[in-house]
Amino acid sequence: MTDHAAPQLPEYGLGAAGLGNLYTAITDDEASAVLAAAKDAGFDYFDTAPYYGHGLSEQRIGAFLAEAGYRPALSTKVGRRLEPAGSNPVPDNGFASPAPFIPYFDYSARGIREGFAGSQARLGVDSVDMLLLHDVGAMVHGDAHPKILAQAVNEALPQMATLKAEGKTKWIGLGVNEIRVCEEILAQVDLDVLLLAGRYTLLEHEAALPFLNACHRRGVCVVIGGAFNSGLLAASAGEPLRYDYDTAPEWAVERAAQLRKVCADFDVPLPAAALQFCKAHPTVVSVIPGAKSAEQVRQISEWTRHPIDSGLWAALKERQLISADAPVS
């Protein structure tokens, strides 16, 4: 059991990758409108990272906070440092028109401290609520994973613990898209929180459910990102269907269609079921959908409040579209 107070967060927050121009660009004014709508909706928790738009997401949040005189809960990430691109081409990394910086992985103690200093400057804050080690794991690092894992345990996380002791953050943990690396690190280090994206969702949760149950027993809180599986569960007609930041495979498209049909039988929008399903697990402290317009934020807010009859969950379990053991309310 970890010796920390559980993160106190609103049930729903805002994932701010979209403010870094994920897939498509938005203007500074549009980004500000997203943040204002999130504030109005009570989504008083923003999650960002230096990687999102190569600093652009953090810059936009910092500008909004300074203008609005507002301080929500904040999480950002370490594990990449941003270097000015100069005359070098800027990689897009899935971000349209990112800031003119090149991100490099750096899990060294110095890289963690310097990376966080950059985030502090862009956000205009001295401290954040959660500091997360970003994108460790074999899925990202391949053959380099064992070396990165050792550096995460021996350098990065101890440096993050030092920042916590200095009052620069309340909670430390991981921000990742894979379960295995969470298990590997938790076997060696106590963490306060995990931000797990895309692995515990209405579409896909069978593998993650035992892990979340184990986190609950251990006292490790979880923030759920990617509740729509890169937008697949919230896509409107004609929108590109994505899964794990790429084109959705056929199995995912078919399963989403089956989920949508059962939800329609109960007059529940599929995205409402997707959000409320994620929030139902007792170890989940917040769910952070992304948005790229104020209208999207308002729509998400409606989905979080949409009444859902218990019959929907029973029907989904009966049709084996969700796990029989999944918490649903």
The residue type found at 223 is: V
- 47 a catalytic residue: yes
Which residue carries 């301080």 as its tokens? 71
- Three-state SS at 9: coil
**How far is the C-alpha of 194 from the C-alpha of 183, rounded, in Å?**
11
**How far is the C-alpha of 78 from the C-alpha of 182, rounded, in Å?**
16
> What is the bridge-based pairing of β-strands 246-247 and 242-243?
antiparallel
The residue type found at 176 is: V
**How far is the C-alpha of 36 from the C-alpha of 100, rounded, in Å?**
26
- 170 a catalytic residue: no
Catalytic-role residue among 77, 164, 168, 292? 77
> What is the bridge-based pairing of β-strands 80-84 and 101-105?
antiparallel
Catalytic-role residue among 12, 39, 45, 47? 47
- 77 a catalytic residue: yes
**How far is the C-alpha of 293 from the C-alpha of 313, rounded, in Å?**
30
**How far is the C-alpha of 63 from the C-alpha of 163, rounded, in Å?**
24
Contact 52, 95 (CB under 8 A): yes
- Say what angle helices 310-318 and 250-265 make with each other, to 10 degrees: 140
Catalytic-role residue among 52, 107, 200, 243? 52
Beta carbons within 8 Å of 146's beta carbon, 6+ residues apart = none
Contact 51, 24 (CB under 8 A): no
The DSSP code for 19 is G
Catalytic residues: 47, 52, 77
